[in-house]
Amino acid sequence: MDATHLEPVRKHIESRVIGQKALINSLMIGLLSDGHLLVEGMPGLAKTTAVKALAESIEGDFHRVQFTPDLLPSDLIGTDVYRQAEGDFEFRAGPIFHNILLADEVNRAPAKVQSALLEAMAEHQVTVGQKTYPLPALFMVLATQNPVDQEGTYQLPEAQLDRFLMHVWVDHPNHEEELQIMALDAQQQKEPPRPPATPMSQQDLFEARKQAGEVYIDPKLNRYIVDLVLATRDPGNYDKDLKRWSRFGASPRASIALSRCAKVQAWLDGDKFVTPDHIQRVAPNIMRHRIMLTFEAEADGITSGHFIERLLQVVAIP
- The CATH number of the domain where 299 resides is what? 1.10.8.80
Mean pLDDT, rounded, for 57-65:
91
Range(s) of the domain holding residue 272: 215-314
CB contact at 8 A, 47 and 54: no
List, in order, residues 6 or more apart from 105 with CB less than 8 Å away: 66, 67, 144, 145, 146
User: Does 198 fall in a domain?
Assistant: no
List, in order, residues 6 or more apart from 131 with CB less than 8 Å away: 91
Last residue of a domain, one of 190, 205, 225: 190
Last residue of a domain, one of 190, 205, 237: 190
Does 240 lie in the same domain as 157? no
User: Does 196 fall in a domain?
Assistant: no
The reported pLDDT for the residue numbered 261 is 96
Provide long-range contacts, Cβ within 8 A and 24+ apart, for 78-81.
Answer: 78/126, 78/128, 79/128, 80/128, 80/129
Mean pLDDT, rounded, for 37-63:
90
Does 220 lie in the same domain as 178? no
User: Does 222 fall in a domain?
Assistant: yes
Report how many domains make up the chain. Answer: 2
CB contact at 8 A, 66 and 104: yes
Going by C-alpha positions, the residue among 150, 169, 162, 142 that lies closest to residue 305 is 169
Mean pLDDT, rounded, for 143-158:
78
Residue 86 has pLDDT above 80, yes or no: no
List, in order, residues 6 or more apart from 71 with CB less than 8 Å away: 65, 109, 113
Does 264 lie in the same domain as 168? no
Residue 276 has pLDDT above 90, yes or no: yes
Residue 32 has pLDDT above 90, yes or no: yes
Residue 110 has pLDDT above 90, yes or no: no
User: Model pTM greater than 0.75?
Assistant: yes
